[in-house]
Chains A and B, each alone.
Chain A
Amino acid sequence: GAVVSQHPSRVICKSGTSVKIECRSLDFQATTMFWYRQFPKQSLMLMATSNEGSKATYEQGVEKDKFLINHASLTLSTLTVASAHPEDSSFYICSAAGGGSTDTQYFGPGTRLTVL
């Protein structure tokens, strides 16, 4: 149980393109979903927290107009990187909480974004 999927697993795009990443909880209802970013050899950085039907809460320094989060249902959250630039190239990982223990986060497999 507690499986989280992410799509796509890898994206290569040109600068200026908007990229949408989907995160789904497959076998449980996720009350909260989280979006992280991880640069090579660095630790996880929380970008935002979202609850179904509510506006996302962004961490300090994360531009909400650039990283658009929609949490449409208890099983789906999307992150859209608007007008991506090379510095946005990173490993984006979502997690979901709500299966079994309410504060245990289960991670998706991640999306590697490369902006040329």
Chain B
Amino acid sequence: QKEVEQNSGPLSVPEGAIASLNCTYSDRGSQSFFWYRQYSGKSPELIMFIYSNGDKEDGRFTAQLNKASQYVSLLIRDSQPSDSATYLCAVNGGGGYNKLIFGAGTRLAVHP
């Protein structure tokens, strides 16, 4: 069974610090990787996706992918209290319908 693993947290970081969120996946054939943010009581919103090994930067967010080690991470620079949320890692599960396999999420708490 294809799995996506995340540390549930909470990960607590001070305001202005770098938050590092990690995710590992079991299916070596996975090609697409996504990070979503979910605030309490709300639906997930897409932060970014990454397909190739290496880093991809978008504003304060950097996604890092290492297919050989089967992990993907998300760095949040200059963390703000408004970044406090649950971060979901998702991996394309393959097959014809582009189903995503979601991790259980890591709860991030940024304290002033």
Given the interface pairs A43-B102, A57-B97, A97-B98, the reply to whether A103 lies near B32 with Cβ below 8 Å is yes
* A32 to B99 CA separation, bound complex (whole angstroms): 9
Interface residues of A in 54-79 (CB under 8 A from B): 57
Q: Are A109 and B98 in contact (CB under 8 A)?
A: no
Q: Are B99 and A44 in contact (CB under 8 A)?
A: no
Q: Are A104 and B46 in contact (CB under 8 A)?
A: yes
Interface residues of B in 12-60 (CB under 8 A from A): 32, 34, 36, 42-46, 49
Given the interface pairs A32-B98, A49-B97, the reply to whether A107 lies near B45 with Cβ below 8 Å is yes
Which bracket fits the contact residues of B? 20 to 34
Residues of A within 8 A of B98 (CB): 32, 97, 102-103, 105
Q: Are A93 and B104 in contact (CB under 8 A)?
A: no
Residues of B within 8 A of A32 (CB): 97-98
* A7 to B36 CA separation, bound complex (whole angstroms): 22
Given the interface pairs A32-B98, A43-B102, A46-B99, the reply to whether A103 lies near B45 with Cβ below 8 Å is no
What is the 8 Å Cβ interface bit string for chain A, positions 14-48, against chain B (1 contact, 0 not)?
Answer: 00000000000000000010100000000110100
Residues of A within 8 A of B100 (CB): 34, 46, 103, 105
Q: Name the 6 nearest CB pairs between A and B, nearest first.
A: A103-B98, A110-B43, A43-B104, A107-B43, A49-B97, A93-B43
Q: Which A residues lie at the B interface, using CB under 8 A?
A: 2, 32, 34, 43-44, 46, 49, 51, 57, 91, 93, 97, 101-110
